[in-house]
Structure 1
């Protein structure tokens, strides 16, 4: 099935149609202030992150992206179960949006939750092209006084001449990644085979910056190196630890935090000093309330938590796992009191941490014990020396397909045969993490540790062509992407 085939349109029609909510984003060169450090990058307007897009489940989202960049771009609504031709994957579900052109993304938004928007073209995600997408629940079961959207990021663009593209080239020892983009382009859309190279854009004139290759890193939580890139900065809501954002509340307020990891190469361990957190959702879907001191978020994962605000000034610390660095924001409920130091280390970072595989899905979203109709096994392959990340030793090609059929329950087993951890993301669906006893929490992105496996089930109820890829941007752009395709 192609991205706009009748089956795709029929599935979209079943999602219904409520009020149309219109938004407009402009991707353009911008100067952003990280809190005393102003840098040139690409962003959605002058804000970092981009301005929040907020709708209600049942709405029709009509979002126009205007491209004022010097290269092609697209927009992906991460985690949303949407019609395939609105998924924003260049050469697969749409042609890239040319410089000076615009594209209207229009689709029904069925499920509430915490999601986000980002470019899906080349290395653009690791610039400033991302924004929160919040889908409110018209029958919200949670009670809280305030809401705090927290976006985490690792940052390199524009620092001492560095760009994400130049860093990718460093990881490939001075060469462009040898990814096979195929020759046929995208079915029915006239896609061009070289889109990802074009969408990356050239490195800034004059310098490729200092070496950003991470060395000597290790994380016990991730059983491997923390990542591949030594970022100069780590941000919460676009701010450096030396000039953090401050969220104000009253003692006793019940606060819902919606935490999004928009980083390209960094897992964050997150804790709020002086508080315990109650996990209520992961990747937009409810779980049985679970108390924890800290969270671990791989790239593109989201967690919703509730906290009861204490009296004082408290650090929200996002430790760059395995990288000896951190991002910082502040919760203030007292009128006086100094801000925490950038190096603050709350005890909660070393406290309880509940991994996603141990979370129990909410009753309304739990999978039945139905057996899978189809099983697919894939291996993650590659190594740090050659930086040749792929599925089954096959770099990404737009022609590659792993067949599935409408209404199947599919079990996907991903075996990590590498020495690195990988956050794996499936487009257009949510899956249930599967253990020995029962189907677990519903997610769209999950970490698989080195020499371990990730097993999950999903229902093939959204026809089209859907990417499965590592959400380490440097791994995916080196070839660790593939496609699941619905067949009649």
Structure 2
């Protein structure tokens, strides 16, 4: 199930190397100067007499409790550094935040200001993007679009009010740096919690190749050199007619459809264009998995974040059902199932009733492969070790939860009437591993221009044979044309599928809109939306 190879699904290229990774770092918190008026729900007031505070271990092993100024500014200092880390029995050199993988979990309360001072100690420029948070444009972290990249040896301060609660994450937006170790959880606590649960755990999923099967740049060169024309339908493919909803007779609500052959609308598993040598949960491999505790009778909240570069996961907690309650940080009508499909950039919050004592595997199976990431739930009082997971758990064959099944808990009172409606065609392949939006490959692509305040409808049409998790910066969108469509910032669109997203252009600036498959983004599947 695991080895030290990186496979390309053209089967032309296989790389071998040695592996290793894992380390623990310290996130220093800094006291903020008074620049904002006091918030209604302020954090604990601490007089700014010292530049740091002691870290507090959190559910994912890297949470740090920040100090707060009297103005409720949560302030952190993050260093981007080259680190030597361990993964199981292996060791690699890679990029990290504060020397740990994932980066430290940052926590802030809804309505507070978040200030993060970034010290770049890498040999190359970097940025931080606050994935899913509708920040002011200058704080969005897209190099050469919203800011110049942070040069080596320099510092940059991100500061913004966090307007929404939920599960988010932060990551670099420069080149292929995400496929190293530059990501971490960002948890925004609500002013008033509406969910009832006893404990929570953050689980960050990842795929890993850096230092095991060459570098991400090696992988990209081989993908481009191999030519993956079988994954795309080329520039000459005719787009679907707007309003078709992909194929007749299929779909879960207006504006959404599923590809042919999906029994009951359940997405098929397709072999990805990259099969990684290693899959991780909270920076831990299957031979030294992350472990978390539970107690019989408790209700457990799992915050699932897919920070992987090129892997869709199917997640199941053996011996337990999952109750999905939030998607991309936003509340939904609860939905129960046995397993969960999560695309790159997506976040899902589930509740689990702990009623089956023992030691249980939580698997994140890499879709279309025979490999998995692994974590372990150990009930209090349970001893013994977990048997190796060598086959797919039966839960993965059970009822599957996925993004196009969910409905918002906060439905609109009236149907959305767009001021601007655009078909957006996703295509690519063409034998040279180029991925496009409307036939244009970024950075040689025209901006999509909308007016501030316009109500916009995109009809996203995937004309390739690969799934694409599409992410919009600076805004939420409603999936489908139903008032009950879920509010999202990332949506996974399967091959030959059309998905409609509705959004209000209420945040001025230049915003990235792209596939969150890092290698698709890097080879063209990105556009800039100008809201002015």
TM-score range, shorter chain: 0.7 to 0.9
Give the Cα–Cα distance (whole angstroms) in 2 for the partners of residues 134 and 68 of structure 1: 25
Give the Cα–Cα distance (whole angstroms) in 1 for the partners of residues 298 and 412 of structure 2: 30
Give the Cα–Cα distance (whole angstroms) in 2 for the partners of residues 414 and 151 of structure 1: 28
Question: Does the alignment pair 1:169 with 2:215?
Answer: no
Contact 1:223–1:450 (CA under 8 A) maintained in structure 2 = no
Question: Does the alignment pair 1:445 with 2:490?
Answer: yes
Displacement of 1:368 = 3.6
Range moving further from structure 2, 333-342 or 273-282 = 333-342
Displacement of 1:379 = 0.7
Which residue number corresponds to residue 269 of structure 1?
314
Which residue number corresponds to residue 380 of structure 1?
426
What are the Cα deviations for residues 244-294 of structure 1, in whole angstroms up to 9, with x where unaligned? 111012111111000000100100000000100111100000001111111
Which residue number corresponds to residue 403 of structure 1?
449
Give the Cα–Cα distance (whole angstroms) in 1 for the partners of residues 331 and 269 of structure 2: 30
Q: Residue 353 of structure 2: which of 297, 302, 308 is its match? A: 308
Q: Residue 285 of structure 1: which of 330, 337, 353 is its match? A: 330
Give the Cα–Cα distance (whole angstroms) in 2 for the partners of residues 463 and 96 of structure 1: 21
Distance 1:260 1:367, change over 3 A: farther
Which residue number corresponds to residue 349 of structure 1?
396
Secondary structure of 1:397's counterpart equals coil
Give the Cα–Cα distance (whole angstroms) in 2 for the partners of residues 432 and 482 of structure 1: 20
Q: Residue 110 of structure 2: which of 49, 57, 64 is its match? A: 57
Secondary structure of 1:251's counterpart equals coil
Secondary structure of 1:440's counterpart equals coil
Query: How many residues were matched structurally?
Result: 430
Unpaired segments ≥5 residues, structure 2:
1-35, 43-70, 228-261
Give the Cα–Cα distance (whole angstroms) in 2 for the partners of residues 389 and 445 of structure 1: 18
Unpaired segments ≥5 residues, structure 1:
1-11, 176-218
Q: How does 1:20-419 map to 2 (within 5 A)?
A: 20-160=73-213, 162-173=214-225, 222-223=267-268, 225-309=270-354, 310-333=356-379, 334-343=381-390, 345-363=392-410, 366=412, 368-383=414-429, 385-397=431-443, 400-419=446-465
After the TM superposition, which segments of 4 or more aligned residues of structure 1 sit over 4 Å from their partners? 15-18, 219-224
Give the Cα–Cα distance (whole angstroms) in 2 for the partners of residues 428 and 398 of structure 1: 22
Distance 1:21 1:398, change over 3 A: farther
Which residue number corresponds to residue 518 of structure 2?
473
Range moving further from structure 2, 65-74 or 384-393 = 384-393
Give the Cα–Cα distance (whole angstroms) in 1 for the partners of residues 407 and 524 of structure 2: 33
Secondary structure of 1:52's counterpart equals strand
Contact 2:416–2:502 (CA under 8 A) maintained in structure 1 = no
Contact 2:342–2:402 (CA under 8 A) maintained in structure 1 = no
Which residue number corresponds to residue 504 of structure 2?
459
Displacement of 1:81 = 0.7
Give the Cα–Cα distance (whole angstroms) in 2 for the partners of residues 366 and 44 of structure 1: 39
Give the Cα–Cα distance (whole angstroms) in 1 for the partners of residues 177 and 267 of structure 2: 26
Contact 1:33–1:39 (CA under 8 A) maintained in structure 2 = yes
Displacement of 1:45 = 1.7
Give the Cα–Cα distance (whole angstroms) in 2 for the partners of residues 383 and 450 of structure 1: 13
Secondary structure of 2:528's counterpart equals strand
Displacement of 1:452 = 1.2
Question: Does the alignment pair 1:19 with 2:72?
Answer: yes
Which residue number corresponds to residue 13 of structure 2?
none
Give the Cα–Cα distance (whole angstroms) in 1 for the partners of residues 271 and 506 of structure 2: 35
Displacement of 1:480 = 0.5
Give the Cα–Cα distance (whole angstroms) in 1 for the partners of residues 513 and 93 of structure 2: 31
What are the Cα deviations for residues 128-162 of structure 1, in whole angstroms up to 9, with x where unaligned? 000000000120011111111000000000014x1
